[in-house]
Amino acid sequence: MDSVVDLSFCTAETTNGKVRGLVTSAIRQFKGVPYGASTAGANRFKRPKRPEPWIGVRDCFGYGPASPQLPADIGNDYARLVQFDLNVALGGMSEDCLQLNIWTPGTGTQEKRAVLFSIHGGGFAIGSGNNPLYDGARLAYFGDVVVVTVTHRLASFGFLNLAALDRSGEWAESGACGLLDLVAALEWVRDNIENFGGDPGRVMIFGQSGGGWKVSALLAMDAARGLFHRAAIQSGSLLKHVSWDESARVSDVFCKKLGLGKSGLNDISSIPWAALLAVQTETGAHAFAPVLDGVHLAADPFSPIAPPQSADIPLVVSTTLHDAGLFFDNFGLTETELKILLRQRYGDQADRMLALYREHFPGKSPYLLHTQMITDSTFRRFANWQAERKADQARAPVYAYLWQWSSPAFDAKFGAAHAMDVPASFHNDREGILGTGSRDAQIMCSTLASAWVNFAKTGNPNNANVPHWPNFDAKRRSTMVFGVDTQVVNDPYAEIRAFWANMPEPDSVLG
């Protein structure tokens, strides 16, 4: 009898051993592929190590664990909108979290497809590459590309600056571990992606929100040079890292809560991770972020200038119209209450501000108007500065976009919500945030995903599905506005941009 080939499975070779994945609709899917060893025990708060080789074929059919974190509140409408409650539901969580997911149309070593390497959002505190927003099957199929998502260490597990408390050298990388994980993942892609049908010379990194922060950081890291060739930042323009002094303060508080003094820091390697997670939660997971250590992170990524390490890398920078809506749930805000909020926050500028916005958006709800104001004062200001500084280098193009298409979910109360463009860039039109497969959602997905694919392949997002998209410069400020009528606008809402340009610089996305 002839041997039977099971077309439901596929295999690929890696530098650590063979992996077996599943084939669905002609897309080969490998999930939970290790790119690093477990970060528990003696490997905790240290740079990632390569995984141990295995014998035989390793089944990679399901997602691996996420970095330890608390699940999202399922009573929070925004968390449900972006499915944050599924960050740890798919794959669980542990310190053995350095794993990749790969979707590819083929595994021939000569196929040389562009690679889209997605870095998840959630700040530096939560999330994983397993979230349904990042499912790469549709994008791989749509664009004939290889899609990779990554999970790495977060919050205290990735950015606790123990070197500030013990300068012996043992913890020298602890404030940058989460980013060094991403460097290790990109090195894995360089060394292995040909066996998954990919081209290691055409790697695009992209991320939204916290994923954009991480992309911003990688653009300024010497260790990441040469590992990627285009980059895109969606609603996550990071200009500065956490200072050494601030990280030292947070680390001191964290260790004291654990009952550890400077002489007993070695004991931190044997404490159960659940205990670390409890103290991390008490301290505040978002207090932990990459540290300006002068070594791995030698300079702020985009302050005062764009990083020279990535001067030749084409870049996309973007925001959505109502990015800041993720922070607010006062949907019933009245016009009178909005005036009070603005006067408390902006004093004698409040009336002028409200009149300016009402001139441009006369029928908008007070809630959406407020979220847009906070977005314009922070997310969009940071994105403008980042794009301007990249354009000033005049070495590689930067393209800007504004996502203006509103989500129909939850009776459209979130507007053009933070993360709306994530499933669109993955061509995932079934995601509820886009309208669960509606014709309009399909159009928006094809429009953005086609730009994404062409940018990954060529370094230029222009294609037949979008109007001609000029690169951004500080004079014309050409911006693709994705909406019901997708079009290029030079300096959209120029008066509003100019207003915020003259206001004091905010310290964070909350101003």
Q: What is the pLDDT of residues 428-463, one digit of tens each?
A: 998 888 888 889 999 999 999 999 999 999 999 999
| CATH 3.40.50.1820 domain residues, the chain | 28-310, 315-501
Output DSSP code: residue 460.
-
Q: How far apart are CA 172 and CA 119, in angstroms?
A: 24
Q: What is the pLDDT of residue 430?
A: 85
Q: What is the pLDDT of residue 509?
A: 55
Q: What percent of the chain has pLDDT over 70?
A: 97
Peptide bond connecting 301 to the previous residue in cis, omega within 30 degrees of 0: no
The closest of 103, 98, 115 to 158, measured between CA atoms, is 98
Q: Which of 53-67, 87-101, 226-240 has the lowest mean pLDDT?
A: 87-101
118 forms bridges with which residues in the sheet?
Answer: 149, 206
Q: What is the pLDDT of residue 50?
A: 96
The single-letter code of the amino acid at 488 is V
Residue 188 reports pLDDT greater than 50? yes
The closest of 445, 462, 360 to 405, measured between CA atoms, is 445
Q: What is the pLDDT of residue 238?
A: 97
Residue 5 reports pLDDT greater than 70? no
- Cβ-in-10-Å burial (0-12, 13-18, 19+) of 18 comes to middle
Q: How far is C-alpha 95 from the geometric centre of its chain's CA atoms?
A: 20
User: Which residue is listed with tokens 């040389």?
Assistant: 112
Q: How many CB atoms lie within 10 A of CB 177?
A: 25
Q: What is the pLDDT of residue 2?
A: 43
> What is the DSSP track for 227-287?
S-SEEEEES-----PBPHHHHHHHHHHHHHHTT--GGGGGGGGTS-HHHHHHHHHHH-GGG
Do 427 and 138 form a contact (C-beta atoms < 8 A)? Answer: yes
Q: What is the pLDDT of residue 511?
A: 42
> In this structure, are strands 9-14 and 57-59 parallel, antiparallel, or unpaired?
unpaired
Q: What is the pLDDT of residue 89?
A: 67
Output DSSP code: residue 504.
P
Q: What is the pLDDT of residue 178?
A: 98
For the residues 307-332, what does the mean pLDDT come to? 96
Residue 240 reports pLDDT greater than 70? yes
Do 443 and 466 form a contact (C-beta atoms < 8 A)? Answer: no
The single-letter code of the amino acid at 316 is V
Q: What angle do CA 24, 207, 127 make, to 5 degrees?
A: 75
Q: How far apart are CA 65 and CA 82, in angstroms?
A: 19
Comparing 83 with 19, the larger pLDDT belongs to 19
- Quick check: helix, strand or coil at residue 481? strand
Q: How far apart are CA 122 and CA 210, in angstroms?
A: 5
- Quick check: helix, strand or coil at residue 148? strand
Burial profile 257-284: b = 16 or more Cβ within 10 angstroms, e = fewer: ebebeeeebeebeeeebeebbebbeebe
> In this structure, are strands 113-119 and 146-151 parallel, antiparallel, or unpaired?
parallel
The closest of 260, 375, 398 to 323, measured between CA atoms, is 375
Quickly state the pLDDT bin for 221 (edges 50, 70, 90): very high
Quickly state the pLDDT bin for 333 (edges 50, 70, 90): very high
Average pLDDT, the chain: 93
- Cβ-in-10-Å burial (0-12, 13-18, 19+) of 356 comes to middle
Q: What is the pLDDT of residue 507?
A: 62
Quickly state the pLDDT bin for 148 (edges 50, 70, 90): very high
Residue 161 reports pLDDT greater than 70? yes
Comparing 419 with 505, the larger pLDDT belongs to 419
Q: What is the pLDDT of residue 86?
A: 79
Quickly state the pLDDT bin for 510 (edges 50, 70, 90): very low
115 forms bridges with which residues in the sheet?
Answer: 146, 203
User: Which residue is listed with tokens 């929100």?
Assistant: 209
Q: Report CA torsion sign: 251, 64, 437, 211.
A: positive
The closest of 361, 342, 362, 344 to 352, measured between CA atoms, is 342
The closest of 295, 296, 327, 282 to 156, measured between CA atoms, is 282
For the residues 311-336, what does the mean pLDDT come to? 95
Which CATH code fits 28-310?
3.40.50.1820
Q: Tell me the pTM.
A: 0.96
DSSP H or E stretch at residue 452 = helix 439-458
Q: What is the pLDDT of residue 169?
A: 83
Q: Which CATH architecture has domain 315-501?
A: 3-Layer(aba) Sandwich (3.40)
**Hey, what are 297's tokens?**
């992170």
Quickly state the pLDDT bin for 423 (edges 50, 70, 90): very high
Q: How far apart are CA 24 and CA 5, in angstroms?
A: 15
Q: How many CB atoms lie within 10 A of CB 359?
A: 10
Q: How far apart are CA 425 and CA 119, in angstroms?
A: 13
Q: Which residues contact 439 (CB under 8 A, 6 or more apart)?
A: none
Q: What is the pLDDT of residue 21?
A: 97
Q: Which residues contact 65 (CB under 8 A, 6 or more apart)?
A: 91, 92, 93, 94, 96, 97, 99, 151
Q: How far apart are CA 316 and CA 461, in angstroms?
A: 9
Q: How far apart are CA 196 and CA 339, in angstroms?
A: 56
Q: How far apart are CA 336 and CA 355, in angstroms?
A: 13
